[in-house]
Structure 1
Amino acid sequence: MAKKNDARLGQGLSEIFGMNIDSVLEDIQQGKSELSNSSGKIEISVDEIKANPYQPRKDFDDDKIHELAESIRQHGVFTPILVKKAVKGYELVTGERRLRASRLAGLETIPAIIVEFDDQQMMEIALLENIQREDLNAIEEATAYEKLIRKLSYTQEELASRIGKSREHVANMLRLLKLPKKVQQFVIEKELSMGHVRALLALKDEKQMEAVAKKAIHEKLSVRAVEALVKKVNAPAAEVKEAKTEDVNLRPVRLRLQDKFQTQVHIDEKQISIRYRGVSDLNRILEILDCLEEE
C-alpha cells in the first residue's frame, strides 16, 4: 500500500485526492515511504523552523499543548514533523502541535523529514489534513476555502471536488465570512450553531445580525426560534400580510428554493423573485444555477 501511495504522491498531490491523505503523510513520518522527494529522519534546530504560512488552524488548545510538552520532556518526540527547505531555514508542513510542545519543553532540536512540496501542495495538505482530523472550527475552514479559491483561482466546484465535499457545503461555509467578526467569534466559541448562523445570514445588515445573535445566545433560542425572529425582522407589514394569503400549494416550493439559495424567495403571479445582497451574493446564486460565464 505504501508504494502505491508513494507513486501517486510522486505524480503530484492531486493524484491522491479522494484517498486518505492523513495515512499518506503518516507513512512518510513513520519511515514507511520510499518517496524520492523526501529525506530520511534528521534532527533540526527548532529555531530554524518557521510556521506553515498556509496553516488554516489558528485556535490551539493550550492545555493539550502543555500535556504534550510534559510527555515530550519524559519520552521525547516519537513522530518526526515534516518540513520543506526555505530561503533561510525551514518551513513547517505538518506537526505544529509537536513543534509548539517541543519548544515549550525546552528542546533545542526536533526530529524532522524534509519533503519537497510546492506552495499549492502546502496549502492543500494543510487544509486536507486538518479537515480529515476535524481539527478546524467552521470559521477556520471557511477562511481556508476562501484562501484556496483566491490564491489558486479555483471555482467553488473545483475546490469541492478536490476536498471531497459538495459544492453546496463549500458555498455555505464561504457565506460564514459575511458574518460580522463578533458573530464569527460566537461561532468559534461554539455559542452559535451552523443552523443559527445560516438563519442570521438572511438579515439585511451586520448590526441586525449582531443584535439577533446576542439575543439568541442570551435567551438560548433554538434554530427555529432564530429563523422566526429573522423573518419578523426582515418582513415589512405588507409582506407579512401577503404571507398570510400565500398559496398553500406554492409554499413548500418557496421554502425549498429558499433553502437551496439561502436567501428570500417569493412566488406570485407566475413569477419567482430571488433576493440578493450585492454583486458577490448574485454571483453565488448564479453559480448555484450554473449560469456564470466561463472565463
Structure 2
Amino acid sequence: MAKNTGLGKGLRALIPDEVILSADGEDLELDVEKLVFHVKTSNIRPNPEQPRKSFDRGKLEELGASIKEHGIIQPLVVKPDGKGYTIIAGERRWRAANMVGLKDVPVIVRDLPAEEVLEIALIENVQREDLNSIEEALAYEGLMGKFNLTQGEIGIRIGKSRTAVANTLRLLKLPEAIQNDVAQGRISSGHARAILIMEEPEKMTAFAKEIMEKGLSVRETEKRIKKLQIEGMVSPLQKKKVDTSAYVMEIRDALEKRFATKVNFSSHGKSGKIELSYFSLDELDRILALLGYNKDDQ
C-alpha cells in the first residue's frame, strides 16, 4: 500500500494503491512529477509508439548485470494507463530489469498527451542510445502524420536541421529490403542516400548487394554511381538528382548525434567549414568539454 503523504485527492488518483512512495513524511507539499515511486515491473507496459523496434540482447544483458549489482540509478518515466503504466522513457532499463527478475522499478509519473510521449521517446533514443536511421525516419514520419509537425518543427524539438530531418526521411523511399540492410547495419545511411538516385527498385537492390559484397565505402559508392551515369546506366534526368554530399551528410549526422546540437557544413571547392551551434553559455561549455577544451587550463 502507498504511504499517506497528504498528496491530495486529485494527485492520489494518478497513483494506484500498490505504488510504494520512496519519499517519507506526512502532509508534504510535493510535486508528483518530481517524486520517485517504486512500481511492480509487471504493471508497466512498453509504449507501442516507441521509435526503437530492436534491442541488442548483448547490451541488455550488460545493462541487466549492472542493474543487478547497483540497481536502477535513473528512474523510468511513465504515464498512467488503465490499471498500470506505459513507458515514456526508459524501455531499455525496464527490459533489462525484467531479464534479471527485478520485482519493481523506480519511476517518475507524468500524465502527458500522446504527442509529448512520442517526442520524449524519440528524443531519449536519438540523443542517448541512437536509433538506427530507418527507425529514426519512421519516428519522424509518425510525428508528421499523427501530430501534423513539419520537418522544421521536428528539427527544433530534437536539435537537428530541417535538412538533416528531410534526408533521413528520404530513406523511406528505399525498397524494404534495403531499409532492412540499413536497419541491420549492413550498409550505412550514407550508402543508402547515394543509391536513392537510381530510383528503380531492382537497380537499387542490385547496387546495395554490390556495396555489401565489395565492401564499398560511401565515397567509393558515389564514384561508382558517377561511372554508371557515364555508362548510361543512370539517365540524365536522374543525374540531376544525384546527392553528391552523401559522405558529408553521413559525417554531419554523426557529429549531430555526438554533440547533440545542430551542425552545419559549408564547402568551397575542396575546402570548407564545420559550424557547431550553441544556444546558451552552459551549452557552449558542454560542447567545449566534448572537444577536450578546458578554459581553466588557459
Instruction: Give the 3-state SS of the residue equivalent to 2:79 in structure 1.
Output: strand
AA aligned opposite 2:95: R
Partner of 2:43: 48
- Structure 2 contact 193–243 (Cα < 8 Å) conserved: no
Partner of 2:92: 97
Instruction: Give the 3-state SS of the residue equivalent to 1:191 in structure 2.
Output: coil
Give the alignment partner of residue 191 of structure 1, picking from 183, 186, 190. 186
Calculate the TM-score normalised by the size of structure 1.
Answer: 0.65
Q: Distance in 1 between matches of 2:173 and 2:184?
A: 17
Residues 261 and 62 of structure 1: CA distance in aligned 2, closer, same or farther (over 3 Å) = closer
1:130 aligns with 2:125: yes
Alignment of 1:184-263 (within 5 A): 184-231=179-226, 233=228, 237=232, 258-259=242-243
Q: Distance in 1 between matches of 2:30 and 2:125?
A: 22
TM-fit CA distance, 1:239: 8.5
Give the alignment partner of residue 81 of structure 2, picking from 79, 86, 110. 86
Q: Distance in 2 between matches of 1:111 and 1:168?
A: 38
Alignment of 1:1-295 (within 5 A): 36=31, 38=33, 40-231=35-226, 233=228, 237=232, 258-259=242-243
- Structure 1 contact 50–90 (Cα < 8 Å) conserved: yes
Q: Distance in 2 between matches of 1:210 and 1:239?
A: 14
Instruction: Give the 3-state SS of the residue equivalent to 1:136 in structure 2.
Output: coil
Deviations 1:112-150 (A, max 9, x none): 121122111101111112222252111111111111000
- Structure 1 contact 37–116 (Cα < 8 Å) conserved: no
Q: Distance in 2 between matches of 1:157 and 1:40?
A: 34
AA aligned opposite 1:112: V
TM-fit CA distance, 1:190: 2.3
After TM superposition, the structure 1 stretch with the greater mean CA deviation from structure 2, 223-232 or 117-126, is 223-232
AA aligned opposite 1:54: E
- Structure 1 contact 82–95 (Cα < 8 Å) conserved: yes
Q: Distance in 2 between matches of 1:35 and 1:216?
A: 58
- Structure 1 contact 57–130 (Cα < 8 Å) conserved: yes
Deviations 1:206-232 (A, max 9, x none): 111110000111012233432344345
Partner of 1:25: none
* Equivalenced residues, count: 218
Residues 224 and 260 of structure 1: CA distance in aligned 2, closer, same or farther (over 3 Å) = closer
AA aligned opposite 1:89: G
- Structure 1 contact 199–227 (Cα < 8 Å) conserved: yes
- Structure 1 contact 42–113 (Cα < 8 Å) conserved: yes
Instruction: Give the RMSD, CA atoms, in angstroms.
Output: 3.1
Calculate the TM-score normalised by the size of structure 2.
Answer: 0.65
TM-fit CA distance, 1:84: 0.7
